[in-house]
Amino acid sequence: MPEQPPSKHVRLSDEADLPGPLPTPRIPYAELHCRTNFSFLEGASHPDELVNRAAKLGYAALAVTDRNSLAGVVRAHGAAKEAGLKLVIGTAITPLDSPPMLLWVMNRAGYGRLSRLLTQGCRSALKGDGRLTFDDVARHSDNLLVGVLINRDTEASRSGTREAISRLSACREVFGDRCYAVTELSRTGRDLRWLAHCRHLASQAHVPLIAANDVHYHIPQRRALHDVLTAIRHGCTVADLGDRLFPNGERHLKSPAEMLDLFADTPEIVSRTVEIADRCTFSLDELRYDYPVELSPPGRTPLEHLTDLTWSGARDRYPPGVPDKVRHLIEHELALIAELRYEAYFLTVWDLVRFARGRDILCQGRGSAANSAVCYCLGITSVNPEQVDVLFERFISKDRGEAPDIDVDFEHERREEVLQYIYEKYGRDRAGMTAEVITYRERSAIRDVGKALGLSVDRVDVLAKTMDHHPARDEDRLTSRLSEGGLDPHSRLTRQLVWLVGQLLGFPRHLSQHVGGMVMTNGPLCELVPIENAAMPGRTVIQWDKDDLDTLGILKVDCLSLGMLTAIRKCIDLIHEAGDGRHAKLTLATVPSEDPAVYEMASRADTIGVFQIESRAQMSMLPRLKPKEFYDLVIEVAIVRPGPIQGKMVHPYLRRRQGKEPVEYPSEAIRSVLQKTLGVPIFQEQAMRLAVVAAGFTPGEADQLRRAMGAFRRRGIIEAFREKLINGMLERGYAREFAERVYQQICGFGEYGFPESHAASFALLVYVSAWLKCHHPAAFCAALLNSQPMGFYAPAQLVADAKKHGVEVRAIDVNSSDWDCTLEPPAIGVSPVLRLGFRLVRGLARKYVDQIVTARAEGSFHAFSEFVRRTGLRAAALKKLSSADVFGSLFMDRQTTLWRALPERGPLTLFDEVDRDEPPVSLPALTPLHEVLADYSTAGLTLRQHPVSFLRSLLDSFKITPAVELGSMLNDRKIRVAGIVLLRQRPSTANGITFVTLEDETGMVNLIVRRAVWERYRKIARRAIALIAHGRLQRESDIIHVLVNRLEDLSDRLSELTTKSRDFH
Amino acid sequence: MCLWFPEWALQRQNTSRPADRSQSLVVYAPGGGGKMRVIACSSGARERGVLPGMLLAEAQSLWPASARGVVRFELHDPFADRQALRDLAVWCQQFSPLVGLDTADTPDCLLLDATGVGDEEEFAENAVDALERRGCRVMSALADTIGAAWGVARYGMLKRPATGGSRVWIVPFGKQVEVLRPLPVEALRLAEGIVSTLHELNVFRVDQLLALPRSGLVSRFGVELLSCIDRAFGALPEMLKPERIVEPLEATWDFEYPIADGRLLAEVIEHLLDWLLAKMVLDYEGVQRLVCTLRPVHHEPISFLVELLRPTALKRNLMELVRLKLERLKLPAEVEALTVRVAVVAPLEFHQDEMFGGGEMDGGENAARELVERLSNRLGEKSVLRPCRQPEAQPEFAYSYEPWMNAPSFPSSAAPRLTDLFRPTLLKNRPVPILVSTVLDGSPRQMHWREQHPLVKQSWGPERIETGWWRGDDIRRDYYVVEIENGERFWVFRNLVDQSWFLHGVFG
């Protein structure tokens, strides 16, 4: 029997002060009206909190009845299975023409009905809303139970009462004996009179009455949070809510005894709830998934088909013959796939990849199951199993009941084609987009709670900003962040804010569309899960996210988009076009492997533009790690992540790699986990495995631990895990110090670790892009420019880097440039020349460029007036072109063409005369610096001098060192540097340190700005576009930083420079 | 002559509150997305790191919470800025009969006609001196044309020739072209779009602009650019639109000899009212607020205010209220003069009389309104209150009193939502602690209060109220309606936090 999936949420319960397990109730009770926080901004408890509390109170069953939604049921289902509580699936709807009602599912058929009904309601309404009539409900009533909620207003008048009775009777006529009336007492005064009224209505309509409690949260302590949620929903403050608030906190899960006390005179309406729960026998486990049948040709089973495809693919991959190692792997994997019945899944992914290949769309698979020889042979991945040690079982384990996971990355500009293919092949009623549950994070929680407590909009803004990129992680840090934002840490307001934010974190806020998860079914999708409208018009999304699908074992494929694939494909196309056509087009798999020149280049950190390893952190790691082979790239990709950095794994690994520290293992069990990475956990699964082999965690517990680390850390839950881990390790004979270190490492991996399989797929793209940069720098630069925006660097840096590598770059010109950057044959030599394209000109519409290119097909332009006549462009477009200085081949500078472009011309015939009549003008010439600044402001880059070079004599007089000279200077020397700010980055792992990169005409300088210095020069540090930095040189194996102690603004000197630095702080 | 007040929004704040000049000042205005942004700040604030365009809250966070005395944050009020500049224009009429504002959307210049002032330098110096004594920071220039004076005042100071200490640049007759040539093109009062296009053409100075062919300029920038040039150089005339002094609705009476007789005072006020109302009636306007100021001999003037719920043009109504006020007024001495000023004017509302009856209800409402007006004027606005229901669960906050004069309409009779709530007719101002003994289910059995120990004959409840945590302490109470043996009913609650009992109301 497969192990139960781990619970997705681990939270410190607020129940510490509540009575422990309660005695078996006198009368069993099932709560049948209960909202989770998937009734967004209405429910104030997570599904698992409600389930666990209900189990603890000894409920006979719990129904989850979210408003128009089944979004929370899977999480409740998982928790209920663990807690051994019976779960009833249901929903609460309010038809337009009848009182609100609860619907409960009796069996699989009823579930399909309900799902279909909700789909209809959600599809015909705005996002997140439902729109149904009583007739709609009646049409879908089979196999469902209904509980009609009696409206308080009906009590006020005789006619209201009559109306309520007739509504109730109408419902009974549709549902027959499956119809109930629901009464709820919330101690809001005159409860007994209200109960009598309900009993009167029910008996008049001949409908049995049951009790419920309209549960909105699991324990009374959530009342304040619920008030806040209500305020957020109404967009006002809690104080302004008035009677939109519940007057008390009675809508929590009450013990059966308490319910019986409330309905003391009528115990039968309490006990009747169990009768309903008993009639509902459905469990979500019944939603066994049927794979689409059309995956294999008629007459062949999917497994046979997959086996054929794999072996024929293997023959293509290894023309000289399949190596033994690979052959064994394939046989082994196919057997495992057959055993777990995953063949349809692999076929589905294969089908998508085949389609993409047919359209010449570059793609690559990654994810747990992707790291297999089968995937390599099917063409899903390009990581040769000969090169990388693939261990399929590690990812697809027989014990874990999880669905296999393959993500496929497609070129970002063309992924839509693949999605359309899926919809076409399976039809819109059988394919759907997975939801993504958007949850409250520090920033959004502060924002919403702050507003609900009456803080002003701009105060809330400032508070939210202090959360930017620095998750607070625990309550103490949250408090200190808030006091940074100007709140008194001891005030009641701050304490309330911290408390409420802590509870709200992780609450679902709304459903969004997952970036690419697609679900395909054999039967109609809407009978599996309700489908609703997505925010994007014409898009639909199912109500479950990928974790839900995982829990139920439902197939999904992630079709993601990746900018680098676009760039690689464009680069390969450019090389192919520029070549003589003799060579076959390159593919990811045919790029020559293990080229020493590529590793040599990477070791120099000469990696601007290369996938992943172009970031500053990666670049400073490369010279230390000095990758020599493919697996080193896998490690490089995985090691520069917040996880390993926080877990302090980087330095031990480097020391061991450089032979400065012996590689040793405390035990054989640990050797088996960490051997590939020199005894240091670098991949996420290694950290989790450590908890298993060293501390005796179950895989499920290890996963819970990881998730607990990732979420907002409540004191208590972390302590409990820590104790368990450390005690477990001590019991197994490990040293305490080692145990503490492992704990630290696991902490680091909480949210930011990288699994090995992902790292391997990414590493291939790293290698391929590095190879292209190394051997085809012009094409590589052009492809990157044509795929913007992507990566870390702006076009200016990419072009500067290409020039540094000997690429000749030519300016944008009306006689030569296309929309995209192109390659031109060189005047001398063989290396192609990069011609910049019009796409770099800011704000220039593509249609104008098309007009130019079309007109140019008849021959080049010789004069401005001729250009205007042939292209038919109007003043606005001409102005843009003039400012961008693209008339170089006509020997006209930007002011002159702008002057000529300005008059708005009438009919074309008049135009020549206008131009001829004009006296020639002599406009003041631009200074070289102004030309450079104008280049920056129109295209974001210049082929002239670097702007800082104009200041060089001034900078020399300030004794400022150019970037290129830093390499020859002594460590710890006092130094001054200056340049344009390229980026500011404050990683959450860096303890408040901000990394700033400056660029002068000779190269880049990396600055380290400590928090105190940053605060002292805050104004300059945050806003200046060019800086002078004073500090000390720091050098560690070829990596040079300047530790800053003083900053000066250089912006005024370059005030008009509008190049945008990329801010990440 | 052009007088330019740099950063007028700041200056206006400073001149209006001279005592706070030492404070840093930040002026902000609503920007996009409902967020407040800084639009101007004093040099002190700038040193602190404030920049125009910054979020207000960000600017506020630059000062510690304890430093509120050294910095002031003011909401930008363009209307008040313009009004203050107008007032200043009127004040400047002592120098020149014609004073106008510049034509920008947010004007910060005054234009003075200097025709025939005699010694121009003396005239200019006098004006600047007087303004600086008033606390204004002013840059000024005097020239043949408005355009030239405007441009030189704003942009000329850097290019200014050394002229023996004079603070005003007086452009000699006919020399405006010469003076303007080296200035930036902005000095010609051009629209922003034109300036930025000229900059793109690398034309930054007036002389560079003048070097371009006029015909080419027209086809590219329209005639507006040429008119700006021509107006500045005097080739086109430009009129100054003078500010006029608006006459206040005010009338004053000087007594030939001081009097103390109330009736006489009332008669004079009535007379002045006649005169004022006659002026207003043409515009169908009525009085909503009236200020009467009496000047007793050798004493500070005394003012009183008459305020109405709806504007009126009826002298009878007004006089009735005036008399009520006069009766209560204590005069320290005989009055030598009195002034009546209409402080708030509002258009009159006309109600058509219904043809058949029906007006009675309206009459009732009018009568009530008159009563409220009379009482409020007599007893003070804050003395005539009315209760309002508040949608709050906590009984103490479920109602409030507000001044009747604040609310122009009568309370609507819309039914409150919680119709079926048991609420006592008399709520104690503050819950009174009592002792209660209870039966097993928690409901009260006997009350102990003021040495009495009534047994509870019947009780209803509990009604649980848990609310108000955001106001202060979390309120958690179980309310019961209890009836004691003699039939009296009370509203009591148990505080769920500490199980203590309180009496909170009595049913009538």
Tell me the chain B residues in contact with residue A236 when contact means C-beta distances shorter than 8 Å.
none
Give bridge partners of residue B307 from the DSSP assignment. Answer: B289
A247 and B464 within 8 Å at the Cβ level: the answer is: yes
Give bridge partners of residue A513 from the DSSP assignment. Answer: A435
Tell me the chain A residues in contact with residue B35 when contact means C-beta distances shorter than 8 Å.
457-458, 461
Nearest CA to CA, how far is A213 from chain B (Å)?
Answer: 15
Give bridge partners of residue A560 from the DSSP assignment. Answer: A409
Nearest CA to CA, how far is A430 from chain B (Å)?
Answer: 41
Residue B162 has pLDDT above 90, yes or no: no
B463 and A224 within 8 Å at the Cβ level: the answer is: no
Q: Which H helix or E strand runs over A717?
A: helix A717-731
Strand order in the sheet with A531-533: A363-366, A407-411, A556-562, A508-520, A431-439, A540-545, A531-533
Question: What's the pLDDT score for residue A387?
Answer: 66
B219 and A903 within 8 Å at the Cβ level: the answer is: yes
Distance (Å, whole) CA A789 – CA B440: 73
* Residue at token pair 């076959």: A584
Positive or negative: CA dihedral B141, B146, B148, B151: positive
What share of chain A has pLDDT > 70, as a percent?
A: 88
B471 and A250 within 8 Å at the Cβ level: the answer is: no
Q: Which CATH class is domain B250-350?
A: alpha beta
Question: Of A248, A895, A930, which to mutate for an interface test with B (greatest number of B Cβ within 10 Å)?
Answer: A248
Question: Of A198, A234, A243, which to mutate for an interface test with B (greatest number of B Cβ within 10 Å)?
Answer: A243
Question: Of B63, B467, B474, which to mutate for an interface test with A (greatest number of A Cβ within 10 Å)?
Answer: B467
- Span A681-722, pLDDT tens digits: 888 778 777 888 888 887 667 766 766 665 555 555 677 788
Nearest CA to CA, how far is A924 from chain B (Å)?
Answer: 6
Distance (Å, whole) CA A721 – CA A1021: 41
ipTM of the prediction greater than 0.85, yes or no: no
Question: Of A458, A913, A1052, which to mutate for an interface test with B (greatest number of B Cβ within 10 Å)?
Answer: A458
B384 contacts B376 by C-beta, under 8 angstroms: yes
| Touching A: B residues 64-83, CB under 8 Å | 65
Nearest to A187 among B197, B201, B464 (CB): B464
B220 and A899 within 8 Å at the Cβ level: the answer is: yes
Assign residue A315 a region: left if phi > 0, alpha if psi is -120 to 50, beta otherwise?
A: alpha
Any A CB within 8 A of B208 CB? yes
| Touching A: B residues 438-497, CB under 8 Å | 441, 460-467, 469-472, 474, 478-479
Residue in chain A lying closest to B46 (CA): A1019
Tell me the chain A residues in contact with residue B220 when contact means C-beta distances shorter than 8 Å.
899, 902-903
* Per-domain boundaries in chain B: 250-350, 423-506
Question: What's the pLDDT score for residue A544?
Answer: 92
Strand duo A974-985 + A1026-1036: pairing: antiparallel
Tell me the chain A residues in contact with residue B56 when contact means C-beta distances shorter than 8 Å.
458
* Residue at token pair 């009919």: A907
Tell me the chain A residues in contact with residue B200 when contact means C-beta distances shorter than 8 Å.
883, 894-895, 898
Which parts of chain A have pLDDT scores under 50? 1-21, 907-914, 1056-1065
For chains A and B, what is the number of CB pairs under 8 angstroms? Answer: 127
Nearest to B462 among A187, A239, A914 (CB): A187
Tell me the chain B residues in contact with residue A247 when contact means C-beta distances shorter than 8 Å.
393, 464-467
Nearest to A245 among B212, B219, B467 (CB): B467
- Span A417-431, pLDDT tens digits: 898 888 888 887 888
Instruction: For residue A522, give every residue at least 6 positions away whose Cβ sits within 8 Å of its Cβ, in sequence order, or none.
Output: A290, A291, A292, A293, A430
B201 and A923 within 8 Å at the Cβ level: the answer is: yes
Strand duo A179-184 + A209-212: pairing: parallel
* Residue at token pair 């409901």: B443
Distance (Å, whole) CA A210 – CA A180: 7
A189 and B421 within 8 Å at the Cβ level: the answer is: yes
Any B CB within 8 A of A459 CB? yes
Question: Of B66, B75, B200, B218, which to mutate for an interface test with A (greatest number of A Cβ within 10 Å)?
Answer: B200
Residue in chain A lying closest to B222 (CA): A903
- Span B333-370, pLDDT tens digits: 888 888 888 877 777 765 544 444 444 445 566 777 77
Nearest to B467 among A247, A488, A923 (CB): A247
pTM of the predicted model as reported, rounded to 2 decimal places: 0.71
Query: Coil, strand, or helix at residue B276?
Result: helix
Task: Render A150-207 in DSSP notation, one character per residue.
Answer: PPGGGGT-HHHHHHHHHHHHHHHHHHGGGEEEEEE--SSS-HHHHHHHHHHHHHHHT-
Residue in chain A lying closest to B473 (CA): A492
Q: Two tokens at B446?
A: 């006997």
Tell me the chain A residues in contact with residue B211 when contact means C-beta distances shorter than 8 Å.
922
A243 and B393 within 8 Å at the Cβ level: the answer is: yes
Question: What's the pLDDT score for residue A700?
Answer: 67
Tell me the chain B residues in contact with residue A459 when contact means C-beta distances shorter than 8 Å.
57
Question: What's the pLDDT score for residue A908?
Answer: 47
Mean pLDDT of B222-241: 81
- Span A929-971, pLDDT tens digits: 778 878 888 888 888 888 888 888 788 888 888 888 887 888 8
